[in-house]
Structure formats: structure tokens, C-alpha cells
Amino acid sequence: DMDSTLISIECVDEIADFVGKKAEVSAITEAAMRGELDFNASLTRRVALLKGLSTEVLNEVYNKRLQLNPGAETLLDGLKQRHIRTALVSGGFTFFTDKLQTRLGFDFVLSNRLQINGNNLTGGIDGDIVNADKKAQFLQNTCEAIGATTAQAIAAGDGANDLKKMHLSGLSVAYRAKPTVRAQADIQINYSGLDSILHVLHATTNQTAN
């Protein structure tokens, strides 16, 4: 997951700040991540509020507001050293996932494409929305593509729309997550960084070896 898992922000909330609607959009985001709202409807509603914004705002958010969560780079480096393939799937936007794929070397990415007319956002999304079902299907398809089973996958997230993919995986990680996600995950990371996942892998490897 990207927003609030790999990175410290919810991109849609920060974009909305440029039209003075961050509080309104953040409230919708929070409710959706707690599982209180239909994700498709909530995202459509949030993105509609961005209509007319210049695409330059996306650069502003990426360059000035987006930060990786602690341990993100160490985690990705550690996974590569172990020859573990990586995938970033998000209910957020391709503008950000594409940049993070280049920056961190993810093997696979999937997210929503904001509809653009000229240099402005239309307030719409191109194609199907990446929701909980799409995230789970992406995990399944990615595993099949590399000849793995979902039981061999690790899935990390923080919101209700991550639960279906987490249930499919062999190890689910709730990263500073909503209560409903923490309650259903195999492990929780509430204080330390994402690189804590490497410690779990190390411990699991040692148990298997023994």
C-alpha cells in the first residue's frame, strides 16, 4: 500500500489542500479507511472536489509534502538483497506510484489514473477504480506472474481497503493501521519502521532452517 503505509501522507488530502478542502476530504478518507464508507463512492466524491486544479499541484505535493515512512528504503533494499519481488498497489494515483516505482525499484505497480484535460484535473478517474477487490486481484495476478503462491506473499497496509489482499497473503502486516486492520493482521507495526518486516523475515527463515 502507498498512502499512509509506504509514505506518510494521503495524497488526495494534500492535493485537496490546494482548493481549501483538505479538512473535508480528510474526513472522507478517514471514514473510508475505517471501512465506514464504500471506497469507490468515497474516492469518486473526493476526486470530484479536485476539478479544475492544475497538474502542477501534483508536482508540488510530490516534491514538498510526500515523505517516505521510516524504514521504507531499508525495507526495499533488504528485499532486493533477498531476491524478493516487490509490488506497490494503491487506491491513490499513478502520478505518485510511477515516481515511487522509479525511485525505489518496485517490480509491479497498480493505482488509479487521474483524468486530465490539458493541464487540469477534470475531477474524474480513467478506468476502473483500484479498490479492495482490485488490490486482492492484483496480488493474485502478480503471484501467478512470478510463479509464486499468495501464501508466499507479504502484504502490508493500513486501511480497510487493504484487508482483502492481506487475507490472501501468507503474512499480513498492519502498519500504523486503523483498529479494524490491526485486529485482522498477522503482525502489527505501531511504533517502529517498515524495515521491521525484515526482522520478521529473518526470524521466520531461522525457524524454517531449524
Residues serving a catalytic function are 1, 3
Residues facing residue 125 across a β-bridge: 114
Residue 200 to residue 197: CA distance in whole angstroms: 5
Question: Which strands make up the sheet holding 120-126, listed edge to edge?
Answer: 87-93, 108-117, 120-126
Cα distances (Å, whole numbers) of residue 142 to 47, 71, 119, 167:
28, 24, 33, 15
